[in-house]
Structure 1
């Protein structure tokens, strides 16, 4: 495991989200890192993540892209607002396009970036690659929540 801390470990070490929570022992543990204008991640599936032999389950694809894009939005909004911690963000909507079967027998790479934003909503595009080939695309909107929302201060 790399010694460099990801966004999730820095800003939400007690988060139990299934997709990206460092505190969820049974979760997927997506680890997102900032690289310039992109937020990137590497993730390696296991056989229990398969839809059928050799191919990753679509729900798992949706989960890892959703969480990775959500953290991309949170990082972007934090930078835009000039604050020291990211706002708690939630998914307003996301769409997954499964372009080709995603292999489950090799490491996957994700990249995401913000295409547009307001003060509290970021529109993000995320892409999932296997062996350098684009397999899946996510587009979505992610919103910073306010006091009173159940996700407020979850991080």
Structure 2
């Protein structure tokens, strides 16, 4: 992050988070940066060759991680807003399904977008997409749950 860039949800609310997919504190991780925009949460991420399944194509497991973390932050952000809180609850993935629709090229950044389709006090159903070159390459639908005291993830951010 440069000094003039806005902070992502991860940088603002969980700067010490070490998650491999979204943790700002994990120098070896993917370090996605998610931003609220017009009711959705968006991100851009630039693949490196080490994340390819084969030359020029992003690995499906990496795609799953990107969508899982991005959708989880979408859930946390919207649960925070629903509760009127100034900090998001720690959320975990209860379930998620990824559909790989076409090969995802690695020559340019991929775009992530996620939106809430159902929201209660402690859980959110989120749908997300990963696009490259203006084409949707993968979709995700997941349920993300705010954890309570005693859960191992409770104080992770």
Per the alignment, residue 76 of structure 1 pairs with: 78
Q: Counterpart of 2:92 in 1: which secondary structure?
A: strand
Aligned match for 2:67, one of 40, 43, 65: 65
Normalised to the residue count of structure 1, the TM-score between the two structures is 0.98
Per the alignment, residue 113 of structure 2 pairs with: 111
Per the alignment, residue 44 of structure 2 pairs with: 42
Question: How many residues align structurally?
Answer: 155
Runs of at least 4 residues off by over 4 Å: none
Per the alignment, residue 128 of structure 1 pairs with: 130
In structure 1, what is the Cα distance between the partners aligned to 2:52 and 2:99? 17
CA deviation after TM superposition for structure 1 residue 117, in Å: 1.3
In structure 2, what is the Cα distance between the partners aligned to 1:4 and 1:131? 24
In structure 1, what is the Cα distance between the partners aligned to 2:18 and 2:38? 27
1:56-107 deviations in Å (ceiling 9; x for gaps): 0000000000000000000000000100000000000000000000011111
RMSD: 0.7
Gaps of 5+ in 1: none
